[in-house]
Amino acid sequence: MKRKIFQSCDDALSYVKAVEVAFQYNNRKKYDEFLKILKDLNLRIGRRISIRCVKAKVKRLFKGNSDLILLFNNLFPTEYQITLPQRTGKKVKKVKEYCELPWDVLDIISKRLDFDDLFSFAGVCKNWRAFHKIYWRNFLTSQEPLLLTSYRATNGEKSYTLTRNSDQKVYCLKMKCYASYVTSSSGYFIMVGYNNSFLLINPFTRISKVINVSTFEVKPTGLFNRAMLAFGKCSEEFVLVVLCNIFASGGLNVYQSRNCGWVTYSTTENQGKVVNFVVFHNKIYVITNKANLGVINLNSANITFLKLKNTPNATIPSLFYWLLCCDDQLLLVDFRHEKTLPNVYKIDFSTMNYVKLETLGDIAIFYVKRRNCYALSNPNKWGYERNSLYVMSPSSSNIECSVHSWDDKELQKYITLPTSASPGRFPSMLGWCFRHLRYEVDYSLVE
Amino acid sequence: MAEEKSQASSSKMLTLKASDGVLFEVELNIAKEMKTVQAYIDDCEDIETIPIPNVLGKHLAIVIEYIKKTNEEYDAEFEKQWNMDDLQLLLLAANYLNISGLQECLCKAIAKRIENKSPEYVRKVFNIENDHSPEEEAKLRKEYKWAFEGVDKD
């Protein structure tokens, strides 16, 4: 099997190709270094590089890729043979010593695995763990909405799945929690427990937090709870904003982890009752049923209201105002009339004006009736239409979602939501989950 | 060794040489499914024998067979025949030769076999050494607690 250096052009070519494929995805730099060694070797006639040097360089470069070293030994004459460390008690395979699966292959395998398996995967060895970290990071930056569905088995046990619309891939979440889902926010599911507490569960990192409430009552069966989770900028401190039952007269309650306590924010009759909130430019904005926009002061129990012109429907309050933040715009959506397209306003801070929008542009809105509302930019990328509204009925087994468009207000379409209902399992649609959204508040912006 | 009769319209034949020296004569259009081989043909047009240094003869035979026959039914049956070792080597072959269809099929098979299994099982199956220290491993188990519960018995 001994050959002179590069006597067989084919073999050399294929070796170079093998190296390229091995390093294509992981480490382009290594491949370039290898080419450089070859170049130096080629000019060996002029004694540019010593045999020992080549061996050392190749051995170092291909550390961990013993199949490439074995190939190198096959191609080059005896004086170039690199000795591999002996593995005691292990059967040496003919061509390879042990198979190291390249990362592009691990990627294809990972795409087929469920959440639980992905976490097991990460525990196999350091190399796989490193790969998992990158894979997971990319997974969490994806803006594609995932549909959260709960299933009730005949024995009453609940299970949850997250489903992707594009390829119907289903992720099973083996969460066992006796709690009622409110919304998903900053990667966490916010749920209401049965003992006057909130349960925050992050299915992507397996972190869960329980926040007890003593100053007010929170009912898990309350259909009109609103909540939002935001993190402190560059910290693990967080803020939980909740509104328990928008029909009730209770105020807005905010929990801050840095104080370990709840604060109730009240408003005057004139300002109206807070019905919704969102984080925009690292501040928590609230909207009242009288369309008054304010900012929560995290250092006190005050809400600073802004003076805006052209306030929509000032005389007729609406409980179904939603604040949305998308493409660096703050939008107000009025869902009071369920049968028609909602009115959408943009808050223009330069003129302190509500501007009614005739079109959303490259945005799609996802509405879970009376429960949740999200905006997604560049929806075409995920198979959704721009300038459209997707409406779903919450906690129902209705798997149809209606689609409305500002381009053609008469047109109404339906899409079927992906589920994996099987006999004995009854699906209940809970809403969409946007894994890339992470709300952050900047404590320094607060007076 | 697989020998093909030359067609009257003479579809060009190519020889592929596996790492253990076994030779395979295949039609050009079959060889082109392997994007790595395609790259050689593009680079050196009059090449007749292409060395495949990473793949054993027995696996190259299986790969060629797959390309010739592939369709959905074949795929479903295909992956059931092989043990884990072979699956892995086939996957590495498919990866090196850059045959996306075969790669997907094999990855699907492997994913199915490691579904709901513990990391120890996966390590055994892939012949991977556990290079985590006991402390690291304890930490991982704690972090990923949900995953280690309800796993199939090895």
User: From A96, which residue of chain B is nearest by alpha-carbon distance?
Assistant: B54
How many whole angstroms separate alpha carbon A64 and alpha carbon A150?
Answer: 45
* pLDDT tens digit sequence for A196-211: 889 998 888 888 889 9
Which pLDDT does position A20 carry in this prediction?
66
- Residue A174: pLDDT over 70: yes
Taking contacts as CB-CB distances below 8 angstroms, the residues of chain B near A124 are 119, 122-123, 126, 128, 130
Nearest to A108 among B107, B117, B122 (CB): B107
A351 confidence band (pLDDT: 50, 70, 90) = very high
**CATH 1.20.1160 intervals, chain A:** 1-99
Q: Are strands A146-153 and A158-164 parallel, antiparallel or unpaired?
A: antiparallel
* CATH level 2 (architecture), domain A1-99: Up-down Bundle (1.20)
Residue A379: predicted pLDDT: 92
Task: Give yes or no for residue A315 having a pLDDT over 90.
Answer: no
The pTM of the whole model exceeds 0.80: no
**Which of A59-73, A204-218, A324-338, B112-126 has the least mean pLDDT?**
A59-73
Instruction: State whether B56 and A95 contact (CB < 8 Å).
Output: yes
Distance from CA of A284 to the nearest CA of B (A): 31
Residues of chain A with CATH 2.120.10: 144-359+426-445
Tokens 């499914």 label which residue? B33
Q: Which residue of B has its CA nearest to A115?
A: B147
pLDDT at A35: 74
Spatial separation of the C-alpha atoms in residues A113 and B114, rounded to whole Å: 9
Strand order through the sheet with A363-368: A372-377, A363-368, A388-392, A400-405, A412-416
Q: pLDDT band for A7, please (50, 70, 90 cuts).
A: very low
Higher-confidence residue: A250 or A295?
Answer: A295
Does residue B83 carry a pLDDT above 90?
no
**pLDDT recorded at residue B8:** 37
Residues of B in contact with A102 (CB under 8 A): 92, 95
What pLDDT was estimated at residue A306?
93
pLDDT band for position B3 (cuts 50, 70, 90): very low
Considering CB atoms only, which of B36, B51, B146 is closest to A11?
Answer: B51
- Contact call for A124 and B130, based on CB within 8 A: yes
Mean pLDDT, chain A, rounded, equals: 81
Strand, coil or helix: B57: helix
Report pLDDT for A177: 72
**A208 and chain B in contact, CB less than 8 A:** no
Per-residue pLDDT for A76 more than 70?
no
Higher pLDDT, A50 or A389: A389
pLDDT in tens, A185-242: 998 999 988 788 899 988 888 888 899 998 888 877 766 788 999 999 888 899 999 9
Res A89: pLDDT: 39
Average pLDDT across chain B, whole number = 79
Cβ–Cβ of A71/B149 closer than 8 Å? no
Q: State the pLDDT at residue A1.
A: 33
pLDDT band for position B11 (cuts 50, 70, 90): low
> Which of the two residues, B111 and A89, has the higher pLDDT score?
B111
Put the strands of the sheet holding A303-305 in their side by side order: A274-280, A283-288, A293-296, A303-305
Residue A77 in this model has a pLDDT that exceeds 70 = no
- Cα gap A171→A162, rounded to integer Å: 5
Q: How many CB pairs under 8 A join A and B?
A: 134
* B87: three-class secondary structure by DSSP: helix
Question: For a pLDDT cut of 70, what percent of chain A falls above it?
Answer: 79
For A152, phi and psi rounded to 5 degrees? -110, 125
CATH 1.10.287 fits A144-359+426-445, yes or no: no
**Taking 60 as the threshold, does the pLDDT of residue A90 lie above it?**
no
A35 touches chain B (CB under 8 A): no
* pLDDT over 70, % of chain B: 85
pLDDT at A404: 92
Lowest-confidence segment of A41-55, B15-29, B135-149 by average pLDDT: A41-55
Instruction: Select the residue from A9, A109, A201, A202 to test the B interface by mutation, using most B Cβ atoms within 10 A.
Output: A109
**Tokens at B18, concatenated:** 């596996």
Mean pLDDT (whole number) for B107-118:
86
Q: Least CA distance to A112: which residue of chain B?
A: B111
3-class SS letters over A236-295? CCEEEEEECCCCCCCCEEEEECCCCEEEEECCCCCCCCEEEEEEECCEEEEEECCCCEEE
Residue range A243-283, pLDDT digits in tens: 887 777 667 999 999 999 999 998 988 888 899 999 999 99
Instruction: Report the gap between the CA of B124 and the closest CA in chain A (Å).
Output: 10
- B95 touching chain A per CB within 8 A: yes
pLDDT at A92: 36
pLDDT at A438 over 80: yes
**CA angle, corner B67, sides to B64 and B70, nearest 5?**
135
Give the tens place of pLDDT for each residue, A25-73: 556 677 777 777 777 666 554 445 566 677 777 777 777 666 666 666 6
Share of chain A above pLDDT 90, in %: 29
Inter-residue contact A244 to A217 (CB < 8 Å):
yes
* B115 close contact with A: CB closer than 8 A: yes
Q: In angstroms, what separates the C-alpha of A304 from chain B's closest C-alpha? A: 41
- Partners of A15 on chain B (C-beta within 8 Å) are 53
- Is a pLDDT exceeding 60 seen at residue A117? yes
Lowest-confidence region among A116-120, A161-165, A294-298: A116-120
pLDDT, position A254: 94
